Amino acid sequence: MNVIILSPGYPADMPEFTRGIAESGATVIGVGDQPPAALPDRVRHHLSRYVEVRSLWDSKTVIGELQKTLHGIDVGRIECLWEPGVMLAAELRQYFGVDGLSVEQAHRFRDKEAMKQALDAAGIRTPRHAAVTSVAECVEAVDRIGFPVILKPIDGAGSADTYRINDADELRDVLPRLRHVPSISVEEFVDGDEYTFDTITIGGRIAYFNIAKYRPRPLIARSNEWISPQVIALRDVGHPKLADGIAMGRAVLEALDFDTGFTHMEWYRKADGEVVFGEIGARPPGAHQVDQMKYACDFDVFLAWGNAIAKGEIGLGIERRYNVATIYKRAKGVGRITRIEGADHLQRRFGEHVVWNTLLTPGTPRRDWLKTLVSDGFIMLRHPDLEQTLTMADAVGSELHLYAE
């Protein structure tokens, strides 16, 4: 099978997905706006050819350039695992007559209002919601839904430009910050724990799924620089308190008619046990959460996805062995990292359980914590027991410090 993968070198885990689809036996054609020399070595090694386009965001131009380059090549799949390229991939499938997520289906995954309307029609519990394009419409929607509310971009990803609004004063303060966002979703604020439901699906059947818990909720973590956010991939996905969330996740995929590929859903569990849908993307989670899945089950999740696309089966044994915690760290201060405190002590305590350390080294400029969950690096660790995993994660969160100046 010839498979086109859009943006094979970016973001950070795309090279692994490129490797996974190539090792599944597919012939992989990369399409991106990076110069070939800028591609990671791993990407170049696994591509049969690479088509550099002037812009990935001009579908007509991309189609024209692919027509010339791919003349006579039978393409079996067109894949994109990066949120901004989901619609482009659908448009290319439509033009070249390739199976996969259609333009209409992709729109429901990208447009949060269309997404929730489809799920409302299927009887799935979503937050009360409205799409608005003006200040007046926003104020009217907030009056109808009631405080507190969440404001977020209709086609956003992650928690960028997302705000919890508690009263009219906060609404007046936040609206000017959203002037650059053309369409906003106004949603009921759902108070509860936030989880993921991540799947590799084949022909509408879930072949593998992962559940992770955010500690704390992303909106809280994104609003407080001092917090070291955690994502915990759970070993015991059969726990009774997760059952309703899993059932909802299956119903969401059916309602949105998702066929084959990776999905990343977020959902809430309220204190009274009610589960509420959050949102879903037709792509994997970011911030190296796919790597969590790898370490939780000791399997090659990237190859599993590749096999699903190219062969219609995962073809790998999966055993849930560990809970996996990722603790993202944010340096104190501005400028370059000057020192790290607590790392050596924690490594001695938890060394056998630490599977990955990406902390920035002294001398490296610190990152903008508002633009990346990965922040100034992370520690990933694992343990079969959940309470022990959380104890270690909290120690890293409270005892490990980076400083910048």
Q: Domain locations in the chain? A: 2-100, 128-188, 192-404
> What pLDDT is attached to residue 156?
67
d(Cα 357, Cα 178) in Å, to the nearest integer? Answer: 35
Closest C-alpha to 131, from 141, 121, 145, 146: 141
> What pLDDT is attached to residue 69?
87
| 192-404: CATH, from 3.10.20.520, 3.40.50.300, 2.40.30.170, 3.30.470.20 | 3.30.470.20
According to the 3-state scheme, what is the secondary structure of the chain? CEEEEECCCCCCCHHHHHHHHHHCCCEEEEEECCCHHHCCHHHHHHCCEEEECCCCCCHHHHHHHHHHHCCCCCCCEEECCCHHHHHHHHHHHHHHCCCCCCHHHHHHHHCHHHHHHHHHHCCCCCCCEEEECCHHHHHHHHHHHCCCEEEEECCCCCCCCCEEECCHHHHHHHHHHHCCCCCEEEEECCCEEEEEEEEEEECCEEEEEECEEEECCHHHHHHCCCCCCEEEECCCCCCHHHHHHHHHHHHHHHHCCCCCEEEEEEEEEECCCCEEEEEEECCCCCCCHHHHHHHHHCCCHHHHHHHHHHHCCCCCCCCCCCEEEEEECCCECCCEEEEEECHHHHHHHHHHHEEEECCCCCCCECCCCCCCCCCCCEEEEEECCHHHHHHHHHHHHHHCEEEEC
d(Cα 130, Cα 343) in Å, to the nearest integer? Answer: 46
2-100 is a CATH 3.40.50.20 domain: yes
Closest C-alpha to 51, from 75, 70, 78, 26: 70
> What pLDDT is attached to residue 159?
61
> What pLDDT is attached to residue 36?
95
| Tens digit of each residue's pLDDT, the chain (405 residues) | 999 999 999 999 999 999 999 999 999 999 999 999 999 999 999 999 999 999 999 999 999 999 988 888 999 999 999 999 999 999 999 999 999 999 999 999 999 889 999 999 999 999 999 999 999 999 999 999 999 999 989 876 656 788 999 999 999 999 999 989 999 999 999 999 999 999 999 999 999 999 999 999 998 998 899 999 999 999 999 999 999 999 999 999 999 999 999 999 999 999 999 999 999 999 999 999 999 999 999 999 999 999 999 999 999 999 999 999 999 999 999 999 999 999 999 999 999 999 999 999 999 999 999 889 999 999 999 999 999 999 999 999 999 999 999
d(Cα 93, Cα 103) in Å, to the nearest integer? Answer: 8
State in words which class domain 128-188 has. alpha beta
Pairing of strands 275-281, 129-132: unpaired
- Residue 311 CB neighbours (<10 A): 14
Structure tokens at 123: 């009887």
Task: Tell me the whole-structure pTM to 2 decimals.
Answer: 0.93
Distance set, CA 300 to CA 112, 199, 244, 282 (Å): 31, 14, 28, 20
Phi, psi (5° rounding) for residue 253? -60, -40
